Chains A and B, each alone.
Chain A
Amino acid sequence: MNKKILLISRQAPYGTSTAREAIDIALAASVYDQDIGILFMDDGVFQLLKSQQSQNIDQKNIASILPALALYGIENIYVHQESLDARTIRTNELVLDDLQLLNNKDVGQLLSQQDQLMSF
């Protein structure tokens, strides 16, 4: 039975490996045909900036990995609008363009529809 699983990614990239781990788990789980969604909120929205040049710190660019989500069939990619606003990030600065922007109430509803939450 497929479970509805939502990964909630709330940490900035590079400072810790948490952000990368969430994406790796999303990609791995999708191979097993799970119903995966991923929500970026709080500092997690910094992962979405297309201006990232992580070669300067010898790390793999998160922004270059994110397009793989769609290739792996993960279409439910959500972003918390207020987290973007608080960091003055506009949607045209984001590396993905098929994102679903959610307000506070939408996020609450999204969480209540899941069978399993994973927090990163």
Chain B
Amino acid sequence: MSTLHTINKSPFANNTLFSCLKICTESDGVLLLEDGVFGTITSAPGADELQLLIQRGVKVFALINDIKARGLEEKLAPNIEPIDYNTFVQLTLDHRCVQSWY
């Protein structure tokens, strides 16, 4: 796997998720964390693009602590994998580089 992209801004207020989605490739991973987890709900801007990427083979993760903290657990879109902090660390090791789209 090549690059792990981390998004920590809400797609309702910020374009960082879209910048990331445009350039990410099939072997990449996308991790939504902090306010980035607002991108996990089905009504979020970019939700359709996110599902298309998942179909193309991109892995999309979201930090479960941030999802729960914001009360979004029941709203999670399909095929987005909730992960804990330990898995977050493992992901940074599994990918060659990490790009933070802050």
Contact = CB atoms under 8 A, between A and B. Distances in A.
Contacts of B22: 82, 104, 107
B101 interface: yes
B85 interface: no
Given A117-B97, A117-B99, A119-B100, A112 B27 contact: yes
Size bracket, chain A contacts: 10 to 19
A10 B97 CA distance: 18
Given A115-B97, A116-B97, A108 B19 contact: no
A111 B99 contact: yes
A111 B2 contact: yes
Contacts of A109: 25
B98 interface: yes
B98 A117 contact: yes
Nearest to A43: B15
B23 A8 contact: no
B72 interface: no
Interface in B8-29: 15, 19, 22-25, 27-28
B36 to A, nearest CB: 14
B70 interface: no
A37 B82 CA distance: 34
Contact of B99 (A80, A105, A115, A119): A119
Contact of B3 (A41, A42, A82, A117): A117
Interface string B58-102: 000000000000000000000000000000000000001111111
Interface of A: 8, 10, 41-42, 80, 82, 104-105, 107-109, 111-112, 114-117, 119
15 contacts: A10-B19, A10-B101, A41-B19, A80-B23, A82-B22, A104-B23, A105-B23, A108-B23, A109-B25, A112-B2, A112-B3, A112-B28, A112-B96, A117-B3, A119-B100
